[in-house]
Amino acid sequence: MSSKGTALKWSQRVASSLGECSLEMSAYGSCVVANLDNIEKNVCKVEFDKFKACISKSITHKGKK
């Protein structure tokens, strides 16, 4: 991030992407909560990977506009 404006645009794209990926975010959060007493690395990997892919796709798409 070379400037304040670039950082602001990036954060706006991320914030917008969170709204677009609410189902994936909810599934990941539900998995974490369901496994809270016995959380381990990668226990919610499938849900996290779907959430990450959604965010990445959304941010990439917004950057091309």
Residue 34 burial (CB count, 10 A): 12
Nearest to 28 by CA among 50, 53, 11, 6: 50
On whether the CB atoms of residues 3 and 52 are closer than 8 A, the answer is no
Q: What are phi and psi of 26, to 5 degrees?
A: -65, -40
pLDDT tens digits for range 12-61: 777 777 788 999 999 999 999 999 999 899 999 999 999 999 998 988 87
Q: Is the pTM for the entire model greater than 0.75? A: no
CA 33 to chain centre: 17
Domains held by the chain: number: 1
Nearest to 49 by CA among 27, 20, 64: 27
Structural domain including 16 reads 4-63
